[in-house]
A = this chain, B = another copy of it.
Amino acid sequence: MQAVTKQQWTLKSRPEGIPDRSEIDIETRTIEDVPPEHLLIECLYFSLDPAIRGWMSETPSYLPPIPIGDPVRSTVVGRVQHSEADGFNVGDLVVGMGAWETHGVVPAAFFTVIPPDSPFPAHYYLSVLGAVGLTPYFGLLRAGKATAGQTLLMSAAAGAVGSLGGQIGKILGQRVVGLAGTDEKCRWVTEELGFDDCINYKTCGDMENAIRTACPEGVDLFFDNVGGETLDAALMNLNKDATIVFCGSISNYNATEPTPGPYNWWQVLARSVTVQGYLISDYVAEFPEGQAQMAEWLQAGQLKFKEHIVEGFENCLDAYNLLFEGKNEGKLMVKV
């Protein structure tokens, strides 16, 4: 094959706090060959997720830290330009674990082909039909054992995961209360998405009291994407035998010192709470089932969602940091 020149966002050092271009920057590389069981793809979309921040650091996690010098790991949609793996053909649209780069050589095992007859645009496979939609789906139904009639409290309610999670809760017959950082976000999830209530955690004053007011029968299921003070406030409102689905902890991702677990940790014991650490990757074998259900709800008009697509490879890092400023509106992606 002919050598391909690519650009990539290289992790140059472990970021402190919010990453900047002294730590992650664009470099040029040359691709010269594709090993067996690998694909050469042209990247079309990157998914920008809070979890990536964790992989940039050295803390042990469910995936190894991104090696210094490698491009930043990310879910991507791409088009196959060269295949050394059965089941993948030049021109196929694929989705899987790649990196912030214009072209990549990736293990075929990390990718799946988007059905050519899919009625949905390719970038849906990074959002509602990808991890973003499947995360609340399996998180609520499996990890959280969600049932009708429960009160569901959803942090980061206007985020990609939270907004879909709350709608799934409504489909399941739950009372759904969100937490979000602007009145506009709160209005969106209540008026457009059907949440029963939403607390603006920036203006509500005492968050513990605000949750108590919005959840007069207590919280049965807390889907936590945020951690920190939000988790502490939620813990004081949990019902006996409540469940916390521990899905993320975005409030801590840019911390430059070790951050502790919740101060109200004791309430986990005092209320016989189950905390379920939750990784979407534990449910890979069930993805087809989840995608089929999400697609059905989507086509029935039962799921609304926002995508926030930033154009231009060169804007990747600035776009990424919108997540930590709370400035993205819906699922954040970059169109290369």
Kindly state whether residue A263 has any CB partner on chain B within 8 Å.
yes
Given contacts A261-B262, A272-B282, contact A60 B267 (CB under 8 A): yes
Q: Which chain B residues lie closer than 8 Å to A59 at the CB level?
A: 266
- Closest B residue by C-beta to A265: B261
Say how far A54's CB is from chain B's closest CB, in angstroms. 8
Q: Is the CB of B270 within 8 A of A260?
A: no
A248-280 CB mask vs B (1 if < 8 Å, else 0) is 110010000011111111111111111111110
Q: Which chain B residues lie closer than 8 Å to A266 at the CB level?
A: 54, 59, 61, 249, 252
- Closest B residue by C-beta to A236: B60
* Complexed CA–CA distance, A135 and B102 (Å): 58
A residues with a Cβ closer than 8 A to B are 54, 59-62, 227, 236, 246-249, 252, 258-279, 282
- Closest B residue by C-beta to A273: B277
Please, could you name 22 A-B residue pairs with CB atoms under 8 Å apart, sorted by A?
A: A59-B266, A61-B266, A62-B270, A62-B272, A246-B268, A247-B269, A249-B265, A249-B266, A249-B269, A258-B263, A259-B263, A260-B262, A261-B261, A261-B262, A261-B265, A271-B277, A272-B276, A273-B275, A274-B276, A274-B277, A275-B275, A275-B276
* Complexed CA–CA distance, A58 and B264 (Å): 13
Q: Is the CB of A263 within 8 A of B265?
A: no
Q: Which chain B residues lie closer than 8 Å to A54 at the CB level?
A: 266
Given contacts A265-B262, A266-B59, contact A277 B272 (CB under 8 A): yes
Q: Which chain B residues lie closer than 8 Å to A247 at the CB level?
A: 269
Q: Is the CB of A265 within 8 A of B260?
A: yes
What 3 A-B pairs are tightest by C-beta distance, nearest first? A261-B261, A260-B260, A261-B265
* Complexed CA–CA distance, A34 and B263 (Å): 42
* Complexed CA–CA distance, A263 and B62 (Å): 17
Q: Which chain B residues lie closer than 8 Å to A268 at the CB level?
A: 246, 275, 277
Q: Which chain B residues lie closer than 8 Å to A252 at the CB level?
A: 266
Q: Which chain B residues lie closer than 8 Å to A274 at the CB level?
A: 274-277
